[in-house]
Structure formats: structure tokens, C-alpha cells
Amino acid sequence: MAPPRVFRSLKRWFDDSDAKYPLEFNYVRQLIFLLSSVGSWPHNQFGRDRLHFVMSIYNLILIGVAITISSAASAYIWINRETISFSFMGHVILCILLETLYLQRITTSRTKQYGEIVKDLLDEFHLFYFQNRSQYAAKMYKQIQVISKIFTIYVSCHILCGISLFAFMPWYNNYKSGMFGADPPANKTFEHALYFYCFTDKFYTNVNFYWILFFFNIPTSFHTSSGILTFDLLLSLTVFQILGHLKIMKHDLSCIPSTADIYSPEENVRVRETLKGIIDHHNIIIKFVDKCSEAFSTYLFMFYMLMQLLTIVVTLEVTAFTADALAKYGPLTVAIYQPLIQISILFEMISTQSEKLIDAIYDIPWECMDTSNRRTVMFFLLRAQEPVTLKAAKMVPVGVMTMTAVLKTTFSYYMLLNAIAESAEQ
């Protein structure tokens, strides 16, 4: 009975046929829930000012906690610098970097540009408002909806899986080593997901203090995982919409009828209206992408900078290739590398699709048009020469080349640090 009930619930979750507004989509509601869990959904942009005020205070509390955790973890490394192992130091540094990335993202949610771009996405730019342009637009809208729903489920499962393994694997190791028994091993400390300077060592030696830190680490792990992965989910869903628009526009260009002769005056009028609609659509896309660049420019710069450091450290940790390292850092490695690859490839697809527009514009039968329409095509072709792309810090194009540079640097530093670690052990 349970599996059919699950399938029926899943089917209802995928069915948004009665939704009259993008905010009513189930995957958007899931996105709102995840972002609200870290106080980062712009409720004020959708007329819920009182809720936004409460969430803004909650967001400030989370920012304060993240700063405190990072500072306490840094203090832990400094105080134990003489005794801490190279691998253990890597674990604490990894936690600090993840907390920094999380901190940067929940801070971004407080900017005005962030709230405006989310509102524009759901109130104006979403393919929901363009599905009636043509049969192809309706088809593209449905495809993007399915992709968005599947991707939202995947990220939600990834968050739960990451929290379970990262927070509960240390608990299992403590249980396996007998730390909770009546006669725990001598001179052995409790293992935690996160380590801080806590003014006393009892959090790592006393079982009662252990449970205090253990239950503190669970929401901390959830907030960090949710904050990091959900912001990437929001960015990916935005990219899916941009890609859908570009594909619709390319299809509209290919549908301009060709003829062996010059268009008649009536045909030129119809072509002029078609070109006007396509150019207006292109302007909507360019305007939205420019606002995205303004809102996420610093976000993307910090993303690549911190990903550079995170990939180095997590690769160093997971390549210990012990059962504990693979269980603890294996899913985390996937969770770190996946956004880097995913975001880079998605933005590369935007650049590639925008470049295809240039060929699509040139391939329309401009030779059959009158002088006015030819002039319109020429100016449109010039306008489309600048590819649709987002840039980190308004300078570095986001795409596969940037990702490749990050990965090359990662493996170069990994080889260096791995050699240092091996020499330190000897």
C-alpha cells in the first residue's frame, strides 16, 4: 500500500495544471521553504512585509552564528596547532570554508538586487507567461517545468543525504569505538562533525557535553548544506528559464517563411511584426540577464574563489581512501564538485545557445525582404553579436573554461599538499 501512496503523492507533486501563478508551483514552494529555512527568501517582494521582517531578523541571527562558528573553529586550529594532525586540520579548514561560503550566500540574500531578480523571475520572466506564444513555446515550457521539478527533488535529497552522512557518521564512529559504553577507551576523545574552541575540553571528553555539541551540530549542518545547495538551485532554475527563452526565440527565427521571390507588401508587414516580436523578446532576455549579472556578480566571484579552496581541501581529505574518509567526505566531494561543474556547464549552454542565435538571424530569408526589414535584420544581427552571458565580478565569464582553470589549479595544489602531508608523516 505504501509504494502506490508514495507514487500518487509524487504524481500530485508533479501536477501543476491548476496553478495560476508560478508561486503556486510545488517546486517553487519547495524552493521557498528551503530558502526560508535560512532566512533568505524575499517575502517583501511578494507583499508579505511582516513575515519578511521576522525572516530578516532570523537571517541576521544566522549570520552572527556563522561568524561565531568560523571564528571559534579558527581559534580551535590555532590553540591546537602543535598537536593537530595535517588531515584533521584539513577537516576543520574545510568546515570553515563551507561556513564562509554559506555566510556569503545568506548575506547576498539581503541585497536589494537579489530580491528584485527573484521577483522578476516569478512575476515577469518565467516561461509560464510565454507559453501561449506558440506550440513550441508551450512545449518548451512543459520541458523546463519537468527539468526544474526533477532538479528540485534531487537537490532536496542531496541536502538530506549530506546532513545524514556528515553529522551522523562521527556519531557512528563514536558508537563503534565504544565511546558511549560504561568503560570508554582511555585517552580517546569524541569525534564531531564540527570542531570549535569551546573554553573547555569536556565537549570532547565528557559524554554529557558531547550530546550538547552533537545536537548543536545538526541544525548547523542543515543550515550550511541548505544555504549552499539551495542558492545553487535558485541559480540553476533561473538558468533553465533563460535557456528556454533562447530556444523559443531561435525557433521563432527559423519559422520566418522563405520564398523564391521578393515578399509582397502584405508579407513584408507580417514579417515586420514577427521581427518586432522577436526583437522585443530578445530585449526582455538581455534586460533580465543584465539584472542577473548585477545581482549575482559578486556571488559568482566568491563562488569560484571559495570553490577553488574547497576542491583542494576536500580532494586532499577524500583521497585518504579509508572507509571513514570515503563515507564522510565522499558525498561531500560530490556535493562540492557538482555545483562547480553544474553551474559552469549551464552558463556555458547559455553562451552556446546565444551564439546559435547569430547563425539563426543570418539564416532568415533577409534577401526576400524590403529595405526596411533588411535594415531591421542588420541592426538585430549587430545587437546579437554580444553573447548572452553572466560574468563573475563583471569581468570573468562563467563557463567551462573558468571551471577547467579551477580544476587544473585544484589538482596542482593537491599534488603539492599531498607531498607535504606524506613528508610530514615520515
- pLDDT tens column, 179-217: 887 788 877 888 888 888 887 777 888 888 888 888 888
Contact 377, 361 (CB under 8 A): yes
Determine contact, residues 389/399, Cβ cutoff 8 Å. Answer: yes
Instruction: Choose the weakest-confidence range: 83-92, 160-169, 223-232.
Output: 160-169
Q: The pTM is what? A: 0.88
- DSSP 8-class letter at 197: -
The answer, yes or no, to whether residue 319 has pLDDT greater than 70, is: yes
Percent of the chain's residues with pLDDT above 90: 29
pLDDT value at 28 more than 70: yes
Of 51-60, 153-162, 390-399, minimum mean pLDDT range:
390-399
Query: What are the tens digits of pLDDT across the range 131-169?
Result: 998 899 999 999 999 999 999 998 888 888 777 777 788
Of 39, 24, 27, nearest to 226 by C-alpha is: 39
Residue 284, classed as helix, strand or coil, is helix
Give me the pLDDT at residue 1, please.
46
pLDDT per residue over 108-132, tens digit each?
999 999 999 999 999 999 999 999 9
* Mean of pLDDT values over 39-58: 92
d(CA 349, CA 346): 5
DSSP conformation letters of 269-281: HHHHHHHHHHHHH
Residue 66 near residue 137, CB atoms below 8 Å: no
